[in-house]
Amino acid sequence: MKKTLMATLVGAAMMTGSGTMFAQGAGKGADKGKAAGGISGGVVKIGVITDMSGLYADLGGEGSVTAARMAAEEFGNRVAGVAIEVVGADHQNKPDVGANKIREWYDTQNVDMVSDALNSAVGIALAKISAEKNKLAMISGAATSRLTNEDCNANTIHYGYDTYALANISGNAIVKAGGKSWFFLTSDYALGHSLENDTGGWVKRAGGEVKGAVRHPLNASDFSSFLLQAQASKAQVVGLANAGGDTINSVKAAVEFGLTKNQTLAGLLVFITDIHSLGLQNTQGMYLTDGWYWDLNEDTRKFGKRFFERMKKMPSMIHAGTYSATLQYLKAVQATNSDDPKVIRAYLSKTKMNDMFHKNAWLREDGRVIRDMYLMQVKKPSESKYPWDYYHVRATVPGEQAFQPLAQSKCSLIKK
Amino acid sequence: MKRSYLGFIALAVLGLLAPYTGAYPIFLMKALCFALFACAFNLLLGFTGLLSFGHAAFFGSAGYVLGHSMKVWGWSPEAGLLIATAASGVLGVLIGGLAIRRQGIYFAMITLALAQMIYFFCIQAPFTGAEDGLQGVPRGVLFGVFDLSDDMSMYYLVLAIFLLGFMLIDRTVHSPFGQVLKAIRENEARALSLGYEVDRYKLLAFVLSAALSGLAGATKTLVLGFETLTDVNWPLSGEVVLMTLIGGIGTLFGPVVGAFLIITLQNELADKVGSWVQVILGAIFVLCVLAFRRGIVGELSARFGSRKNA
């Protein structure tokens, strides 16, 4: 009998563990009602799903949640007569944790829009769930251009940047800036291959030359032989078609080998947080593509300062993008007095978006926000006058040239 | 024998009632999948004494097989589940066949190495979508009758799969075959000297565990609609050890409790403590190893005087 008791005890423990916690959520979902106009549930709720504990925690993480809150505060935390709430969650780089959280937000907690999604698998999962539940995804974190191709849908807006634009601008603009001959250091898996192929294609189309490529295993620890080949190629630009830890290690090794004395590095997937952690000594002269920089103009500096006061670091493109996505969403809610994703999307595609993140940006029918992108070059330590003074803006690429032309998109929403 | 039967019924009733307590069904389904995964793993670790460090390979590749067969070939969910379970069983024969030739740490290392090969295969293979994941897997219609896009029908299918898997493990453990497995766990040389073909028993247990892990992984893919690299990578192999250890190695209900605890924590802490999730899980692990080594269920049954569940 004791064993039965045990089993029941164990089961009861499981139930209270999971049951009680969700009972609160379900309760909130139950009091749905049209409080004001067309706002469902009497609250405008924004979810930020991001990486708070992994590799990209600095790039997005708590900073993204803060950025979304800053946008809500500009509205005094109220819009269209109801309160605005911002919730954040850590997907722990586990897409199933992310998807579970997003579904729960949509089903039981009245969340209307989810932003950030810094991890391409989470990003695509978010897009699919938003379509299924008829909610809105404004993805400012994930870069994969699948979001506006195979996996596009009427409930998803790809906000900040994407892999197509990164490759395009790095290839095109660097050749125009004088980096004619290229060699690629490629991480040997899908992401690395696509960065190499896409960027290489643009280099050739811009009149440059690809002298070769070498593939290194994922999470390699020793880059010496690969860097020697890159040096021997005598190419002007060494493109780093890798990400995360591999990029960090290859940059450090390139400096140790003296490669950067005669050749220029081009980071194909490098963010300001990487420059910050590697330092200007290691990264000086490197080219990279970014969607935003805190020191672009008066508006961006103002936002940067406000953000710095809270987070003790300057905002990244992801932070600024999440802020802007939230702000534009709230503006649309205010103007339409609705939180219906179809209404919001229709409004956004008619309206130019203007804030400190971008000027005259517009929403295309495949869900892509067309906005200016920038080619940056990292400053020398002697050129850096104040903390976080990292970039020279070498080129501003208008959105129409930066992103994939609509004609090439595989998105099913486009009427052909 | 009768007692474990009653325990099983208690578990089934709890499962049937769970969605009506306000618990979120998607969460329950996910937790049940991991619970089955942990139970399958425990069959090997707890009852045969083999520590595999590559079980994510079975869990994840079954997910990919189900996803691909349903999304690209347009198969029905029952066919998808079958082929995915069969595929991880075959993978179990291959990996297990090699690994059981060595004992202890060498066994664990071989399973880890082979599982990482599967991981790198999944990274390179075009059909997995690499870091974007295999996305948009439809739930389909079970036996042409039950529309699984409804969360409740999906839940009862997952519950049925879990209970079936659990019952199979329960039967296995209490069968003469299970007795031999326990004999091998206690003293392999002695079992061999008694005339048992130890390798065959170990291989069969390994394949059974692999196939059930695959069933769990495939079911999870069916529930969430995608499969990604996290499910074939080594941290998941570690996580299932953690679930089993916290719940209680070698107890039938332990892995279920462990899985529910870990999945609940991962899910609940995600929006409450932010970046501290991993630290908290780590602290629990340390606490468990230091303070109650028999795990939650192991400690409870010791405390209440009942002998091992097994």
ipTM: 0.86
Where does the pLDDT of residue B184 fall: very low under 50, low under 70, confident under 90, or very high at 90 and above? very high
Interchain pair B224, A100: CB under 8 A:
yes
Residue B133 confidence (pLDDT): 86
B309 pLDDT above the threshold of 70 = no
B46 falls within a domain: yes
**B297 → chain A, closest CA residue:** A10
What average pLDDT does range A42-69 have in this prediction?
A: 91
Which residues 276-305 of A are in CB contact (within 8 Å) with B?
none
B186 pLDDT above the threshold of 50 = yes
Q: What is the domain count for chain B?
A: 1
B187 falls within a domain: yes
Residue of higher predicted confidence among B146 and A12: B146
Q: How far is CA B64 from the centre of its chain?
A: 16
Residue B305 confidence (pLDDT): 64
Residue A22 confidence (pLDDT): 41
Residue B43 confidence (pLDDT): 94
Does A103 reach chain B within 8 Å, measured CB to CB?
Answer: yes
Q: Which residues contact A198 (CB under 8 A, 6 or more apart)?
A: A163, A164, A167, A168, A171
What average pLDDT does range B53-69 have in this prediction?
A: 94
A27 pLDDT above the threshold of 70 = no
B274 falls within a domain: no
Residue A16 confidence (pLDDT): 44
Residue B304 confidence (pLDDT): 80
Nearest to B70 by CA among B230, B226, B228, B233: B226
B110 falls within a domain: yes
Interchain pair A52, B274: CB under 8 A:
yes
Amino acid, res. B288? C
B286 falls within a domain: no
pLDDT of A153-183, one tens digit each?
999 999 989 989 999 999 988 998 888 999 9
pLDDT of B160-174, one tens digit each?
999 999 999 999 999
**Which of A2, A92, A96, A146 to mutate to test binding with chain B, by most B CBs within 10 Å of its CB?**
A96
Going from the C-alpha of B34 to that of each of A9, A386, A412, B219, the distances in angstroms are 20, 50, 35, 10
| DSSP conformation class of A368 | B
Nearest by CB to residue B7, choosing from A7, A57, A108, is: A7
On average, the pLDDT of chain A sits at 87
pLDDT of A303-342, one tens digit each?
999 999 999 999 999 999 999 999 999 999 999 998 999 9
B292 falls within a domain: no
Report CA torsion sign: B216, B217, B220, B221: negative
Nearest by CB to residue B257, choosing from A10, A87, A124, is: A10
Residue A33 confidence (pLDDT): 40
Contact B228, B94 (CB under 8 A): no
Q: Which residues contact B142 (CB under 8 A, 6 or more apart)?
A: B76, B77, B78, B148, B153, B157
Partners of residue B306 in chain A, C-beta under 8 Å: 2-3, 6
Does B43 reach chain A within 8 Å, measured CB to CB?
Answer: no
- Global confidence as pTM: 0.86
Q: How far is CA B209 from the centre of its chain?
A: 8
A44 pLDDT above the threshold of 90 = yes
Residue B128, classified by CB atoms within 10 Å of its CB into exposed (0-12), middle (13-18) or buried (19+), is: buried
Helix (H/G/I), strand (E/B), else coil: A84: strand
Where does the pLDDT of residue B4 fall: very low under 50, low under 70, confident under 90, or very high at 90 and above? low
A34-48, A71-85, A382-396, B261-275: least confidently modelled range: A34-48
**B5 → chain A, closest CA residue:** A4
Range of the domain at B212: 2-233
- The 3-class secondary structure across A91-152, one letter per residue, is CCCCHHHHHHHHHHHHHHCCEEEEEECCCHHHHHHHHHHHHHHCCEEEECCCCCHHHHCCCC
* Cα gap B216→B37, rounded to integer Å: 5
Query: Residue B140: left if φ>0, alpha if ψ -120 to 50, beta else—which one?
Result: left
B275 falls within a domain: no
* Domains of chain A with CATH codes: 35-161+299-367 (3.40.50.2300), 164-290+374-398 (3.40.50.2300)
Contact A122, B133 (CB under 8 A): no
A64 pLDDT above the threshold of 50 = yes
- The dihedral formed by the CA atoms of B114, B119, B125 and B131, expressed in degrees to the nearest 10: 180
Phi, psi of A93 (to 5 degrees): 60, 20
Residue B173 confidence (pLDDT): 93
Interchain pair A17, B264: CB under 8 A:
yes
* Cα gap B10→B26, rounded to integer Å: 22
B263 falls within a domain: no
